[in-house]
Amino acid sequence: MLIRYETLVDLDAIHDLTSTAFKPMPYSDGTEAEIVRRLRAAGDLKISLVAEQDGEIVGHVAFSPVTIDGAHDGWFGLGPISVKPERQRQGIGKALIARGLELLKERGASGCALIGNPEIYSRVGFSSDGQLKYLDLDTRLVQRIVFRGPPPSGMLQFAPAFES
C-alpha cells in the first residue's frame, strides 16, 4: 500500500470514497465529501493524503488549519478521514494518520486536533484532558496530539468549509 499526496486525477475517487465511508455512520450528516471539496477550494486543504492499493484509492485523510480561542498558533485539524468499508480495520486509517502527523511535524505544526471516537484515535496518539472544547460536545470526543508548546485549552474551531 502506498500513502501519497492527492493529485488532480484522484479528486473524484476521494469524493466517492468519502461519501461511501460516511454513509452508514449515524453521526454523518452527509456533507463530508463536500467539506473536502470546500477545503480544497478555499486553500485550506493543507495536507491531503491517499492510500492507494493496486491502483485503487482505498483511504483518504485531510488536514486543515484550526483555531483555538480564535488563535491558529500552528494547530491543525484532522478530518474528514475515510477508508473503504471493505478495507476498514486493516491499519489503513492508522497509516494515513501516522504519515499526516509526520508531515505536520516536519512543517513545524504545534499539534493536531479532531473530533472522534477515542477508542480509535487513542491508538494513534490522540488524547483529551478536557481543556479543549468544541461547542457543547463531550470533551472526551475532542482530542489532540501536542507536538510542541503547552497542551491547548479553549474552544476549537474548524475551517469555514466545515460550517457552510
Note the residues at the interface with ligand COA (CB under 6 A): 21-22, 25, 81-83, 88-94, 116, 119-120, 123
Minimal distance, residue 150 CB to ligand COA, in Å: 25
Minimal distance, residue 141 CB to ligand COA, in Å: 9
Neighbouring-strand partners of residue 63: 47, 78
Residue whose entry in the numeric block shows the C-alpha cell 484550526: 66
Q: 19 vs 67, which CB is nearer to ligand COA? A: 19
Neighbouring-strand partners of residue 115: 142
Which of 91, 67, 74, 65 lies closest to 3 in space, CA to CA?
A: 91
CA angle 135, 136, 142 (to 5 degrees): 75
Residue at shortest CB range from ligand COA: 93
Minimal distance, residue 50 CB to ligand COA, in Å: 13
Q: 74 vs 91, which CB is nearer to ligand COA? A: 91
Cell representation of residue 7: 493529485
Minimal distance, residue 18 CB to ligand COA, in Å: 8
Minimal distance, residue 91 CB to ligand COA, in Å: 4
32-42 and 11-22 helices, crossing angle to 10°: 140
Q: 71 vs 137, which CB is nearer to ligand COA? A: 137
Q: 122 vs 153, which CB is nearer to ligand COA? A: 122
Q: 88 vs 131, which CB is nearer to ligand COA? A: 88
| CA–CA distance, 87 with 149 (Å, rounded to integer) | 36
Pairing verdict, β 47-53 and 2-5: antiparallel
